[in-house]
Protein backbone atom coordinates (compact mmCIF):
# COMPACT_ATOMS: atom_id res chain seq x y z
CA UNK A 1 0.00 0.00 0.00
CA UNK A 2 1.18 3.54 -0.77
CA UNK A 3 -1.00 4.67 2.15
CA UNK A 4 -3.25 7.11 0.29
CA UNK A 5 -6.31 4.87 -0.07
CA UNK A 6 -5.78 2.41 2.78
CA UNK A 7 -8.22 0.03 4.36
CA UNK A 8 -8.67 -2.65 6.97
CA UNK A 9 -11.45 -5.19 7.42
CA UNK A 10 -12.85 -7.27 10.25
CA UNK A 11 -15.48 -9.94 10.64
CA UNK A 12 -15.98 -13.69 10.78
CA UNK A 13 -17.76 -15.90 8.25
CA UNK A 14 -20.63 -16.70 10.65
CA UNK A 15 -20.24 -13.72 12.96
CA UNK A 16 -22.67 -10.83 13.10
CA UNK A 17 -21.21 -8.73 10.28
CA UNK A 18 -18.25 -7.81 8.09
CA UNK A 19 -16.74 -4.35 8.44
CA UNK A 20 -14.34 -2.23 6.45
CA UNK A 21 -12.77 1.14 7.14
CA UNK A 22 -11.29 3.11 4.26
CA UNK A 23 -9.05 6.01 5.15
CA UNK A 24 -7.79 8.57 2.65
CA UNK A 25 -10.79 9.16 0.39
CA UNK A 26 -10.74 12.73 -0.92
CA UNK A 27 -13.83 14.91 -0.48
CA UNK A 28 -16.43 15.47 -3.19
CA UNK A 29 -16.74 12.04 -4.84
CA UNK A 30 -20.27 10.73 -5.37
CA UNK A 31 -20.88 7.33 -3.82
CA UNK A 32 -23.81 5.33 -5.16
CA UNK A 33 -24.99 2.55 -2.86
CA UNK A 34 -26.67 0.68 -5.73
CA UNK A 35 -23.34 0.36 -7.53
CA UNK A 36 -21.78 -1.20 -4.42
CA UNK A 37 -24.70 -3.61 -4.08
CA UNK A 38 -24.44 -4.56 -7.77
CA UNK A 39 -20.82 -5.61 -7.21
CA UNK A 40 -21.80 -7.59 -4.10
CA UNK A 41 -24.41 -9.40 -6.17
CA UNK A 42 -21.86 -10.22 -8.89
CA UNK A 43 -19.57 -11.78 -6.25
CA UNK A 44 -22.38 -14.04 -5.06
CA UNK A 45 -23.00 -15.52 -8.50
CA UNK A 46 -21.47 -18.24 -10.67
CA UNK A 47 -21.87 -22.00 -11.10
CA UNK A 48 -20.70 -24.12 -8.20
CA UNK A 49 -21.57 -21.77 -5.36
CA UNK A 50 -22.68 -23.37 -2.08
CA UNK A 51 -25.83 -23.14 0.03
CA UNK A 52 -24.63 -20.03 1.84
CA UNK A 53 -25.28 -17.89 -1.22
CA UNK A 54 -28.97 -18.83 -1.00
CA UNK A 55 -29.10 -17.48 2.55
CA UNK A 56 -27.27 -14.19 1.99
CA UNK A 57 -28.30 -11.14 -0.03
CA UNK A 58 -25.23 -9.06 0.63
CA UNK A 59 -26.17 -5.42 1.09
CA UNK A 60 -23.96 -2.54 2.12
CA UNK A 61 -24.57 -0.01 4.85
CA UNK A 62 -22.37 3.07 4.98
CA UNK A 63 -21.89 4.12 8.59
CA UNK A 64 -19.72 7.24 8.17
CA UNK A 65 -17.68 9.39 5.79
CA UNK A 66 -20.45 10.11 3.24
CA UNK A 67 -22.98 12.96 3.50
CA UNK A 68 -25.73 13.76 0.99
CA UNK A 69 -24.25 11.13 -1.31
CA UNK A 70 -20.73 12.57 -1.41
CA UNK A 71 -17.49 11.78 0.39
CA UNK A 72 -16.47 14.35 3.02
CA UNK A 73 -12.79 13.40 3.28
CA UNK A 74 -13.43 11.52 6.52
CA UNK A 75 -12.84 7.75 6.82
CA UNK A 76 -15.65 5.64 5.38
CA UNK A 77 -16.99 2.78 7.48
CA UNK A 78 -18.81 -0.01 5.61
CA UNK A 79 -20.87 -2.87 6.99
CA UNK A 80 -22.43 -6.04 5.58
CA UNK A 81 -24.66 -8.04 7.93
CA UNK A 82 -24.36 -11.85 7.86
CA UNK A 83 -27.93 -13.12 7.66
CA UNK A 84 -26.68 -16.60 8.59
CA UNK A 85 -25.61 -15.25 12.01
CA UNK A 86 -29.16 -15.94 13.20
CA UNK A 87 -28.30 -19.67 12.95
CA UNK A 88 -24.88 -19.28 14.60
CA UNK A 89 -25.64 -16.97 17.53
CA UNK A 90 -24.61 -19.49 20.20
CA UNK A 91 -21.70 -20.95 18.27
CA UNK A 92 -20.25 -17.50 17.55
CA UNK A 93 -21.20 -15.95 20.89
CA UNK A 94 -18.96 -13.04 21.88
CA UNK A 95 -19.67 -13.73 25.55
CA UNK A 96 -18.64 -16.81 27.48
CA UNK A 97 -21.60 -19.14 27.67
CA UNK A 98 -20.36 -22.36 29.25
CA UNK A 99 -18.40 -25.42 28.28
CA UNK A 100 -15.85 -23.79 25.93
CA UNK A 101 -12.91 -25.35 27.78
CA UNK A 102 -13.91 -28.78 26.53
CA UNK A 103 -13.63 -28.63 22.73
CA UNK A 104 -15.70 -31.78 22.28
CA UNK A 105 -18.61 -30.03 24.00
CA UNK A 106 -18.62 -26.94 21.79
CA UNK A 107 -21.11 -27.10 18.96
CA UNK A 108 -19.46 -27.05 15.49
CA UNK A 109 -15.96 -27.10 16.97
CA UNK A 110 -13.49 -29.19 14.99
CA UNK A 111 -9.95 -30.51 15.33
CA UNK A 112 -9.23 -32.10 11.93
CA UNK A 113 -7.51 -29.48 9.73
CA UNK A 114 -8.34 -29.31 6.03
CA UNK A 115 -5.18 -29.70 3.90
CA UNK A 116 -4.80 -26.51 1.86
CA UNK A 117 -6.68 -24.30 4.32
CA UNK A 118 -5.27 -22.10 7.10
CA UNK A 119 -6.54 -24.46 9.83
CA UNK A 120 -3.33 -26.23 10.93
CA UNK A 121 -0.79 -23.41 10.64
CA UNK A 122 -3.30 -20.94 12.15
CA UNK A 123 -4.05 -23.18 15.13
CA UNK A 124 -0.35 -23.69 15.88
CA UNK A 125 0.53 -20.02 15.40
CA UNK A 126 -2.30 -18.68 17.60
CA UNK A 127 -2.32 -21.63 20.04
CA UNK A 128 -5.99 -22.42 19.36
CA UNK A 129 -7.63 -25.71 20.26
CA UNK A 130 -10.82 -25.22 18.22
CA UNK A 131 -9.92 -24.83 14.54
CA UNK A 132 -13.18 -22.93 14.01
CA UNK A 133 -11.34 -19.87 15.34
CA UNK A 134 -9.09 -20.08 12.26
CA UNK A 135 -11.79 -21.09 9.76
CA UNK A 136 -14.05 -18.19 10.67
CA UNK A 137 -11.57 -15.50 9.70
CA UNK A 138 -9.77 -17.33 6.89
CA UNK A 139 -13.05 -18.06 5.09
CA UNK A 140 -13.53 -16.44 1.70
CA UNK A 141 -16.68 -14.92 3.18
CA UNK A 142 -14.57 -11.90 4.10
CA UNK A 143 -14.07 -11.11 0.41
CA UNK A 144 -17.59 -9.60 0.43
CA UNK A 145 -16.29 -6.55 2.30
CA UNK A 146 -13.21 -6.39 0.02
CA UNK A 147 -15.61 -6.15 -2.92
CA UNK A 148 -17.55 -3.33 -1.23
CA UNK A 149 -14.32 -1.40 -0.65
CA UNK A 150 -13.28 -2.05 -4.25
CA UNK A 151 -16.68 -0.79 -5.42
CA UNK A 152 -15.95 2.55 -3.74
CA UNK A 153 -12.55 2.58 -5.47
CA UNK A 154 -14.19 1.79 -8.82
CA UNK A 155 -16.51 4.79 -8.44
CA UNK A 156 -13.51 7.08 -7.94
CA UNK A 157 -11.78 5.59 -11.02
CA UNK A 158 -15.00 5.98 -13.05
CA UNK A 159 -14.81 9.78 -12.56
CA UNK A 160 -11.73 9.56 -14.80
CA UNK A 161 -13.31 7.08 -17.25
CA UNK A 162 -11.19 4.22 -15.93
CA UNK A 163 -13.23 1.01 -16.11
CA UNK A 164 -12.63 -2.72 -15.81
CA UNK A 165 -13.95 -6.16 -16.69
CA UNK A 166 -12.96 -9.77 -16.07
CA UNK A 167 -13.02 -13.02 -18.05
CA UNK A 168 -12.77 -16.67 -17.04
CA UNK A 169 -9.99 -18.34 -19.05
CA UNK A 170 -10.40 -21.93 -17.85
CA UNK A 171 -11.91 -24.08 -15.11
CA UNK A 172 -10.17 -27.31 -14.09
CA UNK A 173 -7.95 -29.15 -16.57
CA UNK A 174 -7.58 -27.15 -19.79
CA UNK A 175 -7.14 -30.30 -21.90
CA UNK A 176 -10.59 -31.67 -21.16
CA UNK A 177 -13.31 -30.93 -23.69
CA UNK A 178 -16.20 -30.79 -21.19
CA UNK A 179 -18.08 -27.51 -20.80
CA UNK A 180 -17.40 -25.48 -17.66
CA UNK A 181 -20.83 -26.20 -16.18
CA UNK A 182 -20.40 -29.95 -16.75
CA UNK A 183 -16.94 -29.97 -15.19
CA UNK A 184 -18.29 -28.27 -12.08
CA UNK A 185 -21.23 -30.69 -11.87
CA UNK A 186 -18.86 -33.65 -12.17
CA UNK A 187 -16.68 -32.26 -9.38
CA UNK A 188 -19.79 -31.75 -7.25
CA UNK A 189 -21.01 -35.32 -7.83
CA UNK A 190 -17.58 -36.66 -6.89
CA UNK A 191 -17.45 -34.64 -3.65
CA UNK A 192 -14.59 -32.65 -5.15
CA UNK A 193 -13.77 -29.01 -6.00
CA UNK A 194 -12.26 -27.11 -8.95
CA UNK A 195 -10.10 -24.03 -9.48
CA UNK A 196 -9.24 -22.14 -12.63
CA UNK A 197 -7.64 -19.22 -14.43
CA UNK A 198 -9.10 -15.80 -15.12
CA UNK A 199 -7.99 -12.34 -16.15
CA UNK A 200 -9.01 -8.80 -15.35
CA UNK A 201 -8.49 -5.78 -17.58
CA UNK A 202 -8.47 -2.08 -16.62
CA UNK A 203 -8.94 0.38 -19.48
CA UNK A 204 -8.03 4.04 -19.91
CA UNK A 205 -5.39 4.30 -17.20
CA UNK A 206 -3.11 7.35 -17.28
CA UNK A 207 0.64 6.91 -17.71
CA UNK A 208 2.81 6.90 -14.59
CA UNK A 209 0.84 5.24 -11.78
CA UNK A 210 3.43 3.53 -9.56
CA UNK A 211 7.14 4.23 -9.86
CA UNK A 212 10.43 2.68 -10.96
CA UNK A 213 12.46 4.39 -8.22
CA UNK A 214 11.81 2.21 -5.16
CA UNK A 215 10.83 -1.46 -4.65
CA UNK A 216 7.73 -0.75 -2.59
CA UNK A 217 6.33 1.78 -5.07
CA UNK A 218 6.39 -0.51 -8.12
CA UNK A 219 2.80 -1.04 -9.22
CA UNK A 220 3.29 -4.63 -10.42
CA UNK A 221 4.57 -5.58 -6.94
CA UNK A 222 1.65 -3.84 -5.24
CA UNK A 223 -0.85 -5.54 -7.56
CA UNK A 224 0.73 -8.97 -7.06
CA UNK A 225 0.51 -8.60 -3.29
CA UNK A 226 -3.11 -7.48 -3.41
CA UNK A 227 -4.11 -10.38 -5.67
CA UNK A 228 -2.11 -13.03 -3.80
CA UNK A 229 -3.93 -12.00 -0.62
CA UNK A 230 -7.23 -13.30 -2.03
CA UNK A 231 -8.13 -16.70 -0.55
CA UNK A 232 -7.06 -19.61 -2.80
CA UNK A 233 -5.08 -17.51 -5.32
CA UNK A 234 -1.76 -19.26 -6.02
CA UNK A 235 -0.35 -17.35 -9.01
CA UNK A 236 -0.49 -13.88 -10.57
CA UNK A 237 0.74 -12.86 -14.01
CA UNK A 238 0.97 -9.48 -15.71
CA UNK A 239 0.44 -9.39 -19.48
CA UNK A 240 2.14 -12.34 -21.19
CA UNK A 241 3.23 -13.49 -17.70
CA UNK A 242 4.90 -16.92 -17.58
CA UNK A 243 4.66 -16.98 -21.39
CA UNK A 244 7.60 -14.49 -21.46
CA UNK A 245 9.94 -17.42 -20.92
CA UNK A 246 9.06 -18.87 -24.34
CA UNK A 247 9.71 -15.92 -26.67
CA UNK A 248 12.66 -13.86 -27.94
CA UNK A 249 12.97 -10.29 -26.69
CA UNK A 250 12.14 -9.10 -30.19
CA UNK A 251 8.73 -10.81 -29.93
CA UNK A 252 8.14 -9.86 -26.30
CA UNK A 253 8.49 -6.11 -26.11
CA UNK A 254 5.77 -3.83 -27.37
CA UNK A 255 7.27 -1.46 -29.94
CA UNK A 256 6.40 2.22 -29.66
CA UNK A 257 4.91 4.14 -32.61
CA UNK A 258 3.74 7.70 -33.15
CA UNK A 259 1.07 9.02 -35.52
CA UNK A 260 -0.52 12.49 -35.50
CA UNK A 261 1.54 13.25 -32.38
CA UNK A 262 -0.06 10.24 -30.56
CA UNK A 263 1.95 7.36 -29.11
CA UNK A 264 0.64 3.83 -29.54
CA UNK A 265 1.61 0.14 -29.41
CA UNK A 266 0.48 -2.71 -31.65
CA UNK A 267 0.88 -5.34 -28.92
CA UNK A 268 0.49 -5.40 -25.14
CA UNK A 269 2.67 -8.23 -23.84
CA UNK A 270 3.77 -6.00 -20.95
CA UNK A 271 0.15 -5.95 -19.77
CA UNK A 272 0.18 -2.18 -19.36
CA UNK A 273 3.13 -2.00 -16.94
CA UNK A 274 6.75 -1.10 -17.69
CA UNK A 275 9.27 -0.45 -14.91
CA UNK A 276 6.56 -0.75 -12.26
CA UNK A 277 4.48 2.04 -13.87
CA UNK A 278 1.38 2.15 -16.01
CA UNK A 279 2.34 2.91 -19.63
CA UNK A 280 -1.08 3.94 -20.99
CA UNK A 281 -2.00 0.51 -22.37
CA UNK A 282 -4.66 -1.70 -20.80
CA UNK A 283 -3.63 -3.25 -17.49
CA UNK A 284 -3.97 -7.03 -17.87
CA UNK A 285 -3.70 -9.18 -14.74
CA UNK A 286 -4.14 -12.95 -14.86
CA UNK A 287 -4.60 -15.04 -11.73
CA UNK A 288 -4.92 -18.70 -10.83
CA UNK A 289 -7.27 -19.97 -8.15
CA UNK A 290 -6.62 -23.38 -6.61
CA UNK A 291 -9.54 -25.75 -5.94
CA UNK A 292 -11.26 -24.86 -2.64
CA UNK A 293 -9.79 -27.07 0.13
CA UNK A 294 -13.11 -27.99 1.79
CA UNK A 295 -13.85 -31.39 0.21
CA UNK A 296 -16.98 -33.46 0.72
CA UNK A 297 -14.82 -36.52 0.00
CA UNK A 298 -12.27 -35.64 2.67
CA UNK A 299 -8.48 -35.88 2.40
CA UNK A 300 -6.20 -37.52 4.94
CA UNK A 301 -5.23 -35.35 7.88
CA UNK A 302 -4.41 -35.54 11.56
CA UNK A 303 -6.70 -35.08 14.54
CA UNK A 304 -5.24 -32.15 16.44
CA UNK A 305 -6.92 -33.38 19.63
CA UNK A 306 -4.98 -36.63 20.01
CA UNK A 307 -2.50 -36.67 17.08
CA UNK A 308 -4.15 -39.68 15.45
CA UNK A 309 -4.49 -40.15 11.69
CA UNK A 310 -7.91 -39.04 10.50
CA UNK A 311 -10.02 -37.47 7.71
CA UNK A 312 -10.40 -33.73 7.19
CA UNK A 313 -13.31 -31.72 8.52
CA UNK A 314 -16.09 -30.99 6.03
CA UNK A 315 -18.82 -28.39 6.17
CA UNK A 316 -20.89 -26.55 3.60
CA UNK A 317 -18.72 -24.80 1.03
CA UNK A 318 -18.47 -23.93 -2.66
CA UNK A 319 -17.50 -26.46 -5.33
CA UNK A 320 -16.08 -23.73 -7.58
CA UNK A 321 -15.80 -19.98 -6.94
CA UNK A 322 -13.55 -18.82 -9.78
CA UNK A 323 -16.04 -16.26 -11.13
CA UNK A 324 -16.44 -14.81 -7.62
CA UNK A 325 -12.66 -14.70 -7.30
CA UNK A 326 -12.46 -12.65 -10.51
CA UNK A 327 -14.88 -10.09 -9.05
CA UNK A 328 -12.79 -9.94 -5.86
CA UNK A 329 -9.64 -9.47 -7.95
CA UNK A 330 -11.22 -6.54 -9.82
CA UNK A 331 -11.97 -4.99 -6.41
CA UNK A 332 -8.49 -5.51 -4.97
CA UNK A 333 -6.77 -4.13 -8.06
CA UNK A 334 -9.18 -1.16 -8.17
CA UNK A 335 -8.16 -0.31 -4.59
CA UNK A 336 -4.45 -0.50 -5.50
CA UNK A 337 -5.01 1.68 -8.56
CA UNK A 338 -6.88 4.37 -6.60
CA UNK A 339 -4.08 4.35 -4.04
CA UNK A 340 -1.54 5.00 -6.82
CA UNK A 341 -3.85 7.46 -8.58
CA UNK A 342 -4.21 9.65 -5.48
CA UNK A 343 -0.46 9.43 -4.95
CA UNK A 344 0.07 11.05 -8.34
CA UNK A 345 -2.86 13.43 -8.69
CA UNK A 346 -3.63 14.62 -5.13
CA UNK A 347 -5.43 13.43 -2.05
CA UNK A 348 -7.72 16.12 -0.68
CA UNK A 349 -10.61 17.01 -2.95
CA UNK A 350 -12.11 16.20 -6.32
CA UNK A 351 -11.61 19.68 -7.81
CA UNK A 352 -7.87 19.79 -7.23
CA UNK A 353 -7.46 16.19 -8.35
CA UNK A 354 -9.40 16.84 -11.59
CA UNK A 355 -7.32 19.95 -12.30
CA UNK A 356 -4.11 18.06 -11.71
CA UNK A 357 -5.36 15.17 -13.87
CA UNK A 358 -6.29 17.33 -16.83
CA UNK A 359 -2.91 19.12 -16.67
CA UNK A 360 -0.87 15.90 -16.58
CA UNK A 361 2.14 15.44 -18.87
CA UNK A 362 1.59 14.13 -22.38
CA UNK A 363 -2.19 13.75 -21.93
CA UNK A 364 -2.50 14.92 -25.54
CA UNK A 365 -0.21 12.14 -26.85
CA UNK A 366 -1.50 8.93 -25.31
Contacts to ligand EPS by CB under 6 A: 13, 50, 52, 84, 139-141, 143-144, 231, 292, 294, 316-318, 321, 324
How would you class 328 by CB atoms within 10 Å of its CB: exposed for 0-12, middle for 13-18, buried for 19 or more?
Answer: buried
Q: How far is the CB of 134 from ligand EPS (least distance, A)?
A: 11
> 209 or 324: whose CB is closer to ligand EPS?
324
Q: How far is the CB of 84 from ligand EPS (least distance, A)?
A: 6
Q: How far is the CB of 313 from ligand EPS (least distance, A)?
A: 12
> 197 or 317: whose CB is closer to ligand EPS?
317
Q: Are 195 and 325 in contact (CB under 8 A)?
A: no
> 149 or 321: whose CB is closer to ligand EPS?
321
> 81 or 350: whose CB is closer to ligand EPS?
81
> 40 or 207: whose CB is closer to ligand EPS?
40
Q: How far is the CB of 94 from ligand EPS (least distance, A)?
A: 19
Q: How far is the CB of 35 from ligand EPS (least distance, A)?
A: 20
CA angle 59, 50, 193 (to 5 degrees): 135
> 75 or 115: whose CB is closer to ligand EPS?
115
Name residue 283's beta-bridge partners.
Answer: 202
Q: How far is the CB of 78 from ligand EPS (least distance, A)?
A: 16
In terms of residues, how long is the chain?
Answer: 366
Q: Are 325 and 233 in contact (CB under 8 A)?
A: yes
Amino acid sequence: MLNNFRFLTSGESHGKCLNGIIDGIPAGFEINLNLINDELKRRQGGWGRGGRMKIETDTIEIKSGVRFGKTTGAPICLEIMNKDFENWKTIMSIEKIGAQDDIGEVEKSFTKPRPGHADLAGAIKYDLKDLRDVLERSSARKTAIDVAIGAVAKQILKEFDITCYSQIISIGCENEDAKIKEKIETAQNQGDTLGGNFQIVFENLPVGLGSHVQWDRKLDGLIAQAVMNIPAVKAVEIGLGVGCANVFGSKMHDEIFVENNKYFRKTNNAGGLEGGMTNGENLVVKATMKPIPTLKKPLATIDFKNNSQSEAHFERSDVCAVSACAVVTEAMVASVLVDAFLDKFGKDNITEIKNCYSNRNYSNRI
